[in-house]
Amino acid sequence: MRNILLTIAFDGKNYCGFQVQKNAVSVAERVQDAIERVTGVRSDIKGCSRTDSGVHAEMFCISFFTDCALSEEKLCRALDAVLPKDIAALECREVPQDFHARYSCKGKKYRYRIWNGRSKNPFLQGRAYEYFKRCDEEKMDRAARLIEGTRDFSAFMAAGSSVEDRVRTVTQCRCERCGDEIVITVAADGFLYNMVRIIVGTLLWVSEGKIAPEDIPAIIESKDRSKAGPTASAEGLYLSEVYYER
Protein backbone atom coordinates (compact mmCIF):
# COMPACT_ATOMS: atom_id res chain seq x y z
CA MET A 1 0.00 0.00 0.00
CA ARG A 2 1.26 3.45 -0.93
CA ASN A 3 0.55 6.56 1.12
CA ILE A 4 -0.41 9.33 -1.30
CA LEU A 5 -0.48 13.05 -0.63
CA LEU A 6 -3.08 14.58 -2.93
CA THR A 7 -3.16 18.37 -3.34
CA ILE A 8 -6.40 19.88 -4.55
CA ALA A 9 -8.02 23.30 -5.01
CA PHE A 10 -11.74 23.92 -4.72
CA ASP A 11 -14.48 26.49 -4.90
CA GLY A 12 -16.42 25.87 -1.71
CA LYS A 13 -19.56 27.73 -2.72
CA ASN A 14 -21.57 24.55 -3.36
CA TYR A 15 -20.26 22.49 -0.42
CA CYS A 16 -20.97 22.17 3.29
CA GLY A 17 -17.22 22.20 3.95
CA PHE A 18 -14.57 19.50 3.64
CA GLN A 19 -15.78 16.99 6.23
CA VAL A 20 -18.42 14.42 5.26
CA GLN A 21 -21.80 15.35 6.74
CA LYS A 22 -25.26 13.83 6.67
CA ASN A 23 -27.78 15.41 4.28
CA ALA A 24 -25.22 17.74 2.69
CA VAL A 25 -22.58 17.46 -0.04
CA SER A 26 -18.97 17.83 1.13
CA VAL A 27 -15.66 18.16 -0.67
CA ALA A 28 -14.44 14.96 1.01
CA GLU A 29 -17.36 13.00 -0.40
CA ARG A 30 -16.61 14.15 -3.94
CA VAL A 31 -12.90 13.32 -3.54
CA GLN A 32 -13.73 9.85 -2.22
CA ASP A 33 -16.06 9.36 -5.20
CA ALA A 34 -13.21 10.23 -7.57
CA ILE A 35 -10.69 7.96 -5.85
CA GLU A 36 -13.17 5.08 -5.97
CA ARG A 37 -13.79 5.61 -9.69
CA VAL A 38 -10.07 5.59 -10.45
CA THR A 39 -8.82 2.87 -8.08
CA GLY A 40 -11.95 0.75 -7.52
CA VAL A 41 -11.70 1.23 -3.74
CA ARG A 42 -13.40 3.84 -1.56
CA SER A 43 -10.48 5.09 0.50
CA ASP A 44 -10.48 6.58 3.96
CA ILE A 45 -9.02 10.05 3.39
CA LYS A 46 -7.37 12.46 5.84
CA GLY A 47 -7.70 16.18 5.21
CA CYS A 48 -5.23 18.82 6.34
CA SER A 49 -8.01 20.90 7.88
CA ARG A 50 -11.71 21.20 8.52
CA THR A 51 -13.35 23.95 6.50
CA ASP A 52 -16.72 25.57 7.05
CA SER A 53 -19.50 25.72 4.50
CA GLY A 54 -18.62 28.11 1.69
CA VAL A 55 -14.88 28.31 2.45
CA HIS A 56 -12.54 27.91 -0.54
CA ALA A 57 -9.05 26.45 -0.97
CA GLU A 58 -6.26 27.33 -3.36
CA MET A 59 -4.25 24.52 -1.77
CA PHE A 60 -5.76 21.72 0.30
CA CYS A 61 -3.91 18.51 1.15
CA ILE A 62 -5.32 15.00 1.58
CA SER A 63 -3.55 11.75 2.41
CA PHE A 64 -4.85 8.27 1.65
CA PHE A 65 -3.55 4.73 1.19
CA THR A 66 -3.94 2.86 -2.08
CA ASP A 67 -2.54 -0.15 -3.89
CA CYS A 68 -3.20 1.54 -7.24
CA ALA A 69 -0.21 1.03 -9.54
CA LEU A 70 -0.62 4.26 -11.53
CA SER A 71 2.30 6.67 -11.41
CA GLU A 72 1.89 9.83 -9.35
CA GLU A 73 1.34 11.93 -12.48
CA LYS A 74 -1.16 9.54 -14.07
CA LEU A 75 -3.07 9.16 -10.80
CA CYS A 76 -3.33 12.94 -10.47
CA ARG A 77 -4.54 13.38 -14.05
CA ALA A 78 -7.05 10.54 -13.68
CA LEU A 79 -8.49 12.05 -10.50
CA ASP A 80 -8.66 15.50 -12.06
CA ALA A 81 -10.61 14.08 -15.00
CA VAL A 82 -13.38 12.63 -12.79
CA LEU A 83 -13.62 15.32 -10.12
CA PRO A 84 -16.39 17.93 -10.55
CA LYS A 85 -15.48 21.20 -12.23
CA ASP A 86 -15.21 23.09 -8.96
CA ILE A 87 -12.54 20.73 -7.54
CA ALA A 88 -9.12 20.36 -9.21
CA ALA A 89 -6.43 17.75 -8.52
CA LEU A 90 -3.10 19.61 -8.60
CA GLU A 91 -0.55 17.01 -7.54
CA CYS A 92 -0.10 13.46 -6.23
CA ARG A 93 3.04 12.52 -4.37
CA GLU A 94 4.01 9.37 -2.50
CA VAL A 95 4.90 10.11 1.12
CA PRO A 96 6.19 8.03 4.08
CA GLN A 97 3.82 5.52 5.67
CA ASP A 98 3.50 7.58 8.86
CA PHE A 99 2.58 10.78 7.03
CA HIS A 100 -0.81 12.27 7.93
CA ALA A 101 -2.20 15.27 6.06
CA ARG A 102 -3.43 16.91 9.26
CA TYR A 103 -1.03 15.83 11.98
CA SER A 104 2.12 16.23 9.85
CA CYS A 105 1.14 19.80 8.96
CA LYS A 106 3.51 22.48 10.30
CA GLY A 107 1.42 25.51 9.42
CA LYS A 108 -1.09 27.12 7.07
CA LYS A 109 -1.71 30.41 5.35
CA TYR A 110 -5.15 31.87 4.71
CA ARG A 111 -6.25 34.74 2.51
CA TYR A 112 -9.44 36.68 3.05
CA ARG A 113 -10.88 38.65 0.13
CA ILE A 114 -13.07 41.70 0.66
CA TRP A 115 -14.75 43.39 -2.29
CA ASN A 116 -14.68 47.07 -1.33
CA GLY A 117 -16.10 48.70 -4.46
CA ARG A 118 -19.05 51.09 -4.57
CA SER A 119 -21.19 48.52 -6.43
CA LYS A 120 -21.44 44.76 -6.12
CA ASN A 121 -19.18 42.60 -8.29
CA PRO A 122 -21.17 39.89 -10.14
CA PHE A 123 -17.99 37.92 -10.81
CA LEU A 124 -17.14 37.54 -7.12
CA GLN A 125 -20.51 36.41 -5.81
CA GLY A 126 -19.82 33.72 -3.23
CA ARG A 127 -16.06 34.23 -3.61
CA ALA A 128 -15.46 37.46 -1.69
CA TYR A 129 -17.12 39.35 1.14
CA GLU A 130 -18.93 42.42 -0.15
CA TYR A 131 -18.29 45.39 2.14
CA PHE A 132 -19.32 48.76 0.74
CA LYS A 133 -18.00 51.11 3.44
CA ARG A 134 -14.62 52.42 2.34
CA CYS A 135 -11.93 50.46 4.18
CA ASP A 136 -8.97 52.20 5.78
CA GLU A 137 -6.42 49.56 4.81
CA GLU A 138 -3.52 51.43 6.43
CA LYS A 139 -5.15 51.35 9.87
CA MET A 140 -6.18 47.75 9.30
CA ASP A 141 -2.61 46.78 8.41
CA ARG A 142 -1.22 48.50 11.52
CA ALA A 143 -3.66 46.52 13.61
CA ALA A 144 -2.93 43.28 11.73
CA ARG A 145 0.79 43.50 12.47
CA LEU A 146 0.04 43.67 16.20
CA ILE A 147 -1.59 40.22 15.96
CA GLU A 148 1.69 38.57 14.99
CA GLY A 149 3.49 36.58 17.67
CA THR A 150 3.01 33.64 20.04
CA ARG A 151 0.14 34.05 22.49
CA ASP A 152 -3.20 32.69 23.66
CA PHE A 153 -5.75 33.63 20.98
CA SER A 154 -8.90 32.73 22.93
CA ALA A 155 -10.35 36.16 22.05
CA PHE A 156 -10.29 35.09 18.41
CA MET A 157 -11.95 31.68 18.89
CA ALA A 158 -15.65 31.04 18.28
CA ALA A 159 -17.78 29.29 20.90
CA GLY A 160 -18.32 25.57 20.53
CA SER A 161 -14.69 24.49 20.35
CA SER A 162 -13.34 21.96 22.86
CA VAL A 163 -9.69 22.88 22.23
CA GLU A 164 -7.86 23.49 25.51
CA ASP A 165 -4.47 24.66 24.20
CA ARG A 166 -5.24 27.99 22.56
CA VAL A 167 -1.68 29.22 22.13
CA ARG A 168 -0.72 29.74 18.51
CA THR A 169 2.14 31.46 16.68
CA VAL A 170 0.98 33.88 14.00
CA THR A 171 3.96 34.43 11.71
CA GLN A 172 2.26 36.83 9.31
CA CYS A 173 -0.78 39.08 9.45
CA ARG A 174 -1.11 41.73 6.75
CA CYS A 175 -3.79 43.82 5.05
CA GLU A 176 -3.37 45.36 1.61
CA ARG A 177 -5.50 46.95 -1.07
CA CYS A 178 -5.44 46.08 -4.78
CA GLY A 179 -7.86 48.40 -6.51
CA ASP A 180 -11.31 47.77 -5.05
CA GLU A 181 -10.24 44.57 -3.30
CA ILE A 182 -8.84 44.25 0.20
CA VAL A 183 -6.81 41.11 0.94
CA ILE A 184 -5.99 40.04 4.50
CA THR A 185 -3.29 37.35 4.81
CA VAL A 186 -2.77 35.33 7.98
CA ALA A 187 -0.17 32.58 8.42
CA ALA A 188 0.32 30.54 11.59
CA ASP A 189 1.42 27.19 12.95
CA GLY A 190 -2.24 26.45 13.65
CA PHE A 191 -5.64 28.09 13.91
CA LEU A 192 -8.50 28.07 16.39
CA TYR A 193 -12.13 27.68 15.34
CA ASN A 194 -13.10 30.65 13.09
CA MET A 195 -9.90 32.44 14.11
CA VAL A 196 -9.19 34.06 10.74
CA ARG A 197 -12.79 35.19 10.24
CA ILE A 198 -12.83 36.79 13.71
CA ILE A 199 -9.51 38.51 12.97
CA VAL A 200 -11.09 39.92 9.80
CA GLY A 201 -14.16 41.12 11.69
CA THR A 202 -11.91 42.80 14.25
CA LEU A 203 -9.86 44.54 11.56
CA LEU A 204 -13.09 45.83 10.02
CA TRP A 205 -13.97 47.28 13.43
CA VAL A 206 -10.62 49.08 13.28
CA SER A 207 -11.51 50.46 9.86
CA GLU A 208 -14.88 51.66 11.17
CA GLY A 209 -13.24 53.42 14.13
CA LYS A 210 -14.95 51.24 16.73
CA ILE A 211 -11.54 50.28 18.10
CA ALA A 212 -8.02 51.60 17.50
CA PRO A 213 -5.13 49.56 16.10
CA GLU A 214 -3.41 49.98 19.48
CA ASP A 215 -6.33 48.18 21.17
CA ILE A 216 -5.38 44.84 19.59
CA PRO A 217 -2.83 43.69 22.23
CA ALA A 218 -5.32 44.34 25.05
CA ILE A 219 -8.05 42.41 23.20
CA ILE A 220 -5.72 39.42 22.80
CA GLU A 221 -4.56 39.68 26.41
CA SER A 222 -8.17 39.66 27.64
CA LYS A 223 -8.79 36.20 26.15
CA ASP A 224 -12.39 37.37 25.93
CA ARG A 225 -14.28 36.62 22.69
CA SER A 226 -16.73 39.47 23.36
CA LYS A 227 -13.91 42.03 23.11
CA ALA A 228 -13.10 41.11 19.48
CA GLY A 229 -15.08 41.90 16.35
CA PRO A 230 -17.78 39.81 14.64
CA THR A 231 -17.11 36.65 12.67
CA ALA A 232 -16.74 37.64 9.01
CA SER A 233 -18.59 35.75 6.29
CA ALA A 234 -17.16 32.40 5.16
CA GLU A 235 -17.36 33.21 1.46
CA GLY A 236 -14.27 35.44 1.51
CA LEU A 237 -11.97 32.86 3.13
CA TYR A 238 -9.39 30.84 1.19
CA LEU A 239 -6.93 28.27 2.50
CA SER A 240 -3.95 29.46 0.51
CA GLU A 241 -0.93 27.36 1.52
CA VAL A 242 -0.22 24.28 3.63
CA TYR A 243 3.27 23.67 5.03
CA TYR A 244 5.03 20.37 5.63
CA GLU A 245 8.61 19.31 6.29
CA ARG A 246 9.91 17.63 3.17
Catalytic residue positions?
52
Which candidate, 154, 155, 181, places its Cα nearest to that of 165?
A: 154
Which candidate, 103, 106, 86, 112, places its Cα nearest to that of 194?
A: 112
Going along 50-166, which residue ranges are E strands?
A: 56-66, 87-95, 107-115, 129-130, 149-152
> What is the rounded CA–CA span in Å between residue 224 and residue 211?
15
Which residues, including other chains, have CB under 8 Å from residue 18's CB and lie 6 or more apart? 26, 27, 28, 47, 49, 50, 51, 60
**Beta-strand relationship, 167-178 and 181-188:** antiparallel
Which residues, including other chains, have CB under 8 Å from residue 51's CB and lie 6 or more apart? 12, 17, 18, 19, 27, 57, 60, 239
List C-alpha distances in Å: 153 to 49, 148, 157, 194.
Answer: 18, 11, 7, 11
Residues across the chain:
246
**Contact yes or no for 137/175 (Cβ under 8 A):** yes
